[in-house]
Structure 1
Amino acid sequence: PVTRMRTDADGAKERDDIVRLVRRARACLLEPSIARKVELSRETHAWWFSARENPPVNDDDGDDETLDAIVENPGRETLRVVKSSQTRRIGKGGTLESRIAILHSLAHIESWAIDLSWDAISRFGLARDMPKGFYDDFVTVANDEARHHELLARRLKALGSAYGKLEVHDGLWQTAMETADSLEARLAVEHCVHEARGLDVLPQTIGKFRRNGDEESAKLLEDVIYPEEVTHCAAGLRWFKYLHARDGVRTGDQEDVRDGEELETSSVVQAFHAVVRKHFAGALKPPFNDDARKRAGFNPVWYEPLAVKA
């Protein structure tokens, strides 16, 4: 079970560590070099899951104002940022140019995913009195996303390109800022809608590479990125459920919704639907990857009522 922060001597040290982590998260967000952002993410992950006897490299104790400050625009090295409608079509992977465009798009998504993980920690962690497990999960997610970006950037180089050579858009961060005032909305929309959509389309993306002879890219997506993205969706759902159980407004009617092997209270499922309808424009688009979603903890009762009707 997840618990709130302890209040004894060990709890005081834990809070000090969390304060350091929040400041470290801000440093990762503000870092303009993606290579250094990846390195900082890796260093912070190693420190957080160690004995934490020493502060992270270049740690700055700062002050309360620094701690409370929110990063509205993460640091970004020079990229050609355009409107999403102006980015080039990535195609179906039939040409080298198309495969490079797909990998570049994925690498860019992962770069924003790093920032979104650190933003969840720095924006919401202390403000919502989240337990240590929340930080454990999102430090892990940030490290995973950093590794994904690094592997995709390395693959781009192997194909004669590099991250930053193609134009990009910042739509993922902009949509995330629409949930800047609600952790529940951030978890529901970014992790349980957008990332879950990634689970729906990744098998098709893997197929594009495989059908066109790029087995190395296909295996990178299939063996590393795909299974880890399942765990990221699961983290979003886990903490949405936690917040609902801890802080959610309960109705008198606590009927259960049974679907397959999972039993959910109607309260949390209905709360999820309400948050998504409020903060996500439009309906979810099938077909859904039911198997991957189930591994992440989503049975159809979570998403089918939100889907486009045939």
Structure 2
Amino acid sequence: MDAAGATAVDQAEGLPPPKTLVDWALQILDTADPDEKARLGDLAATQWLRGAIPLPYDPAQSPRAPPDRPARSDAVRLLPPSRMPKLGKGGSAQSRLAMLHSLAHTESWAVDLSWDIVARFGAQLHMPREFFDDFARVAQDEGRHFAVLSARLRELGSHYGALPAHDGLWDSAMSTSHCLLARLAVEHCVHEARGLDVLPTTISRFRAGGDEQTAKLLEDIIYPEEVTHCAAGVRWFRYLCLRPRTSDPIIHPIPESKPQSSELPESGTAIIKRFHSIVREHFRGPLKPPFNTEARKAAGFEPAWYEPLAVKEAETQTIEPREV
């Protein structure tokens, strides 16, 4: 860790500088300001991936449990999801601002979700270093996404917190706080994948409304990186299913996102069935097509994983899309 980074954290929080990645994650979760949360997350991920943070966690100590709810700015007025105003379809400047604000809010929570998975499960399950690498990168991406969306709101004469928002995404995180498999399935393989399904339409709406700058921001920066976030969920879900309970996680091989030819068909089928079972238990309602099969495939997420969980085509007209 460089001295400037350590000093900034020390002065900002009045605490000793973090020593491990889990320490950093806990400090970021305790930071309320969304811009500072993203900045510290970028600093932590950069230092970790450069090797300047020596350990993911201290094996000699029991890490502090992450908060049930991360520190959040009170500048954002929260409403129950059922009371949120409709975003519209981007046909007006007001609708496009509402869509952009909703995206920024989702990304701000994604920062917390990424650091929470590091702090809540990494040490507890003795996950290998690659797990910490992946979710540090995801957290860094999400912080960058929030920063560029927040900046775009300001360019358009608004700001993050100008409109109400809801915290349904964190509600689902809490329902899976006891189980990493469930967290990966719901947050990364349902919510993240749903984001891949709706982003092309969102991009088209900004473009049709004449906001090419926001459309390009979503198309060139956020969309391709969200594919890798879904891939991380698939990869670590498979890892946990395949890891023998008695194995050393440091030396157990890390599966790729996409099934390998050497994988027995029975094991792949068993993993998918387990995924179906977990999603049905922890996610409210069926998945809603149409699916972005190309982006999902790029993430190693084949139709056999999600099509059996989908609502029947005849029912799609009566079910409201779930905002993620």
TM-score, normalised to structure 1, is: 0.85
Asked if 1 retains the 8 angstrom alpha-carbon contact of 2:42 and 2:140, the reply is: yes
Residue 146 of structure 2 corresponds to: 149
Shift of 1:113: 0.3
Structure 1 alignment gaps of length 5 or more: 1-17, 56-60, 249-258
Shift of 1:64: 4.2
Residue 13 of structure 1 corresponds to: none
Residue 66 of structure 2 corresponds to: 70
Residue 43 of structure 1 corresponds to: 43
Residue 309 of structure 1 corresponds to: 312
Counterparts in 2 of 1:53 and 1:218: CA distance versus 1, 3 Å? closer
Q: Deviations over 1:15-63 (max 9, x none)?
A: xxx97110110111110111110110011011101131689xxxxx9x9
Residue 172 of structure 2 corresponds to: 175
In 1, Cα distance between equivalents of 2:88 and 2:69 = 30
Secondary structure at the residue paired with 2:50?
Answer: coil
Identity %, equivalent residues: 53
Residues paired across the two proteins, number: 277
Asked if 2 retains the 8 angstrom alpha-carbon contact of 1:155 and 1:217, the reply is: yes
In 2, Cα distance between equivalents of 1:309 and 1:89 = 25
Asked if 2 retains the 8 angstrom alpha-carbon contact of 1:31 and 1:37, the reply is: yes
Out of 287, 290, 301, which is 1:287 matched to? 290
Shift of 1:238: 0.1
Residue 267 of structure 1 corresponds to: 270
Structure 2 alignment gaps of length 5 or more: 1-17, 246-257, 314-324
Q: Is 1:192 the equivalent of 2:189? A: yes
Residue 165 of structure 1 corresponds to: 162
What is the Cα-based RMSD across aligned positions, in Å? 2.3
In 1, Cα distance between equivalents of 2:198 and 2:53 = 42
Secondary structure at the residue paired with 2:23?
Answer: helix
In 1, Cα distance between equivalents of 2:178 and 2:227 = 25
Counterparts in 2 of 1:222 and 1:39: CA distance versus 1, 3 Å? same
Residue 26 of structure 1 corresponds to: 26
Out of 130, 133, 137, which is 1:133 matched to? 130
Asked if 2 retains the 8 angstrom alpha-carbon contact of 1:260 and 1:299, the reply is: no
Counterparts in 2 of 1:280 and 1:247: CA distance versus 1, 3 Å? farther
TM-score, normalised to structure 2, is: 0.81
Shift of 1:197: 0.5
Residue 202 of structure 2 corresponds to: 205
